[in-house]
């Protein structure tokens, strides 16, 4: 996989748990995302080999801090993997849907972290794991034992159910390693849970945080563009005007029907600017931060 800072910023936004409910959380949801996205320029670097490594600051974190970083990167890299390999651009944290609509999606031991809409009646579910060093040898087998974790989403068996592990295994003893992403394709599980949802609600839960960020007081609108704002002088976030209107004025079946009639594919010029296939705009100006040579000189290519 090849990815940019913007890919990571988008993944960190959409996989976050904060629902972006302006009435309930206000700008706190935006601050939560800015906090999460700041993990990248603080703790991730691009090695001269092109691979991602941890900054020296990341290597000095205590155990609990490393767990939090690994969790966020595991979620984000699962979203990047699903987008680039499975062509699923819209991965959503299960908790965000559940809390937004106050529904019970089953116990935490039997449900995935993330699920995404590949197309009408087509769903992908993913269990994300992150490790600050090498993944324990039993982890892939544990993911397989969990099997598909769900039998159905909106009444349809998932087209793909996977586990995704993001880790930093040492190249050799005592030497910090590069990021590695492993995916396992578990077997089906007849005892898994059913995720009952409505397409319109899923779409609203996915896009609302973008709309709320644009509505809030944080950030500065780009000149001549009411549907993109720059935050923290580093990340710009936006949403197609047609999506903004749909998400803020409709819902339910009406939203789902209108959405399925949209063509959100960006042109090559739009893609280079920062527009994505889900109709969102994310651009992270982290090139200088990712290139900082503040990581261990002992990093070696495998």
Where do the domains of the chain lie? Answer: 46-195
Confirm if 247 and 232 have CB atoms less than 8 A apart. no
pLDDT at 197: 84
The mean pLDDT value of the chain amounts to 85
Summarised one tens digit per residue, pLDDT across range 46-78 is: 988 888 999 999 999 999 999 999 999 999 999
| Cross-sheet strand order for the sheet of 160-167 | 91-93, 114-119, 122-130, 160-167, 180-184
235-239 and 280-284: which strand pairing?
antiparallel
**Of the spans 24-28, 189-193, 246-250, which averages the highest pLDDT?**
246-250
Is it the case that residue 277 has pLDDT exceeding 60? Answer: yes
Q: Please compute, for residue 276, the number of CA atoms within 13 A of its CA located in the half-sphere on the CB side.
A: 24
| pTM, two decimal places | 0.89
Q: b/e map of 53-90 (b: 16 or more CB within 10 Å)?
A: bbbeebeebeeeebeebbbbbbbbbbbbbbbeebebbb
pLDDT at 302: 46
**Nearest Cα to Cα of residue 105 among 37, 141, 151, 145:** 151
Average confidence (pLDDT) over 268-284: 93
pLDDT at 110: 60
Contacts of 204 (CB under 8 A, 6+ apart): 100, 247, 251, 255
Give the CA angle between residues 142, 119, 117 to the nearest 5°.
40
Q: b/e map of 104-126 (b: 16 or more CB within 10 Å)?
A: ebbeeeebbbbbbbbeeeebbbb
pLDDT at 283: 93
**Nearest Cα to Cα of residue 291 among 34, 60, 5:** 5
Summarised one tens digit per residue, pLDDT across range 141-196 is: 666 655 456 788 888 888 888 889 999 998 777 678 899 999 987 665 556 677 88
Q: Could you tell me the maximum CA-CA distance found in the chain, to the nearest angstrom?
A: 57
Enter the DSSP assignment of 278: T
Confirm if 294 and 13 have CB atoms less than 8 A apart. no
């Amino acid at each position: 996989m090849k990815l940019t800072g913007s890919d990571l910023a988008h993944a960190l936004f959409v996989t976050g748990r904060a629902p972006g409910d302006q009435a309930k959380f206000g700008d706190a949801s935006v601050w939560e995302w800015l906090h999460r996205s700041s993990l990248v320029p603080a703790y991730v670097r691009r090695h001269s080999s092109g691979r991602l490594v941890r900054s020296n600051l990341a290597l000095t974190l205590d155990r609990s801090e490393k767990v939090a970083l690994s969790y966020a990167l595991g979620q984000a890299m699962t979203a990047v993997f699903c987008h680039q390999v499975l062509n699923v651009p819209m991965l959503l944290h299960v908790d965000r849907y559940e809390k937004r609509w106050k529904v019970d999606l089953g116990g935490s031991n039997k449900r995935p972290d993330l699920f995404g809409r590949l197309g009408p009646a087509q769903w992908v579910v993913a269990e994300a794991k992150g490790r600050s060093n090498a993944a324990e040898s039993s982890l892939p087998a544990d993911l397989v034992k969990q099997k598909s974790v769900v039998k159905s989403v909106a009444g349809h068996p998932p087209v793909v159910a996977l586990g995704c592990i993001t880790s930093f295994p040492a190249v050799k003893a005592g030497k910090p390693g590069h990021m590695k992403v492993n995916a396992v394709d578990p077997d089906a599980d007849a005892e898994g849970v059913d995720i009952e949802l409505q397409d319109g609600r899923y779409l609203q839960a996915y896009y609302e945080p973008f709309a709320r960020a644009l509505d809030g007081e944080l950030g500065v609108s780009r000149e001549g563009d009411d549907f993109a704002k720059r935050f923290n002088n580093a990340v710009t976030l936006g949403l197609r005007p047609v999506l903004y209107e749909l998400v803020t004025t409709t819902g339910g079946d009406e939203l789902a029907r209108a959405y399925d009639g949209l063509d959100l594919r960006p042109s090559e010029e739009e893609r280079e600017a920062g527009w994505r296939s889900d109709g969102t705009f994310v651009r992270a100006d982290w090139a200088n931060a990712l290139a900082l040579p503040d990581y261990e000189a002992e990093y070696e290519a495998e």
